[in-house]
Amino acid sequence: MTVIVFGPQQCGKTRNAQKLQSLFGCEHLVDGLKPTTTHGNAFMTDDGRILREIPASSLVLSNMPLSDCHRFADKLGCDKLISYAAAMELVDKANQGH
């Protein structure tokens, strides 16, 4: 499953990435994804990597606005698009069950 978790910069997405990966069963982490206009149909990460595709079973963290996330979800082969706040509520519920 490929999941985009979106939220404002510095809200805790990266800090809680491991919990989110575990919750959604994602093998790969793509942090800080944003579209790039200088590399065609590619994406750039916060660390400057250029990605032409996202690996299957990825947790994608982004601070793109929701409208941009919706636009790119299909292009990324995304199975789920969820806000950081909603994702952390699911993490908390999962932790309460243990």
Q: Could you tell me the residue ranges of all domains in the chain?
A: 3-96
pLDDT on residue 98: 60
Q: Can you read off the two tokens belonging to residue 35? A: 């579209």
Cα distance between residue 70 and residue 89, in whole Å: 21
38-97 pLDDT, tens digit each: 777 778 888 888 888 888 999 999 998 888 888 788 777 889 999 999 999 999 999 887
CA angle centred on 69, ends 63 and 23, rounded to 5°: 75
Instruction: Provide DSSP, 46-67.
Output: TT--EESS--SSEEEEE-S-HH
pLDDT on residue 43: 83
* pTM score: 0.87
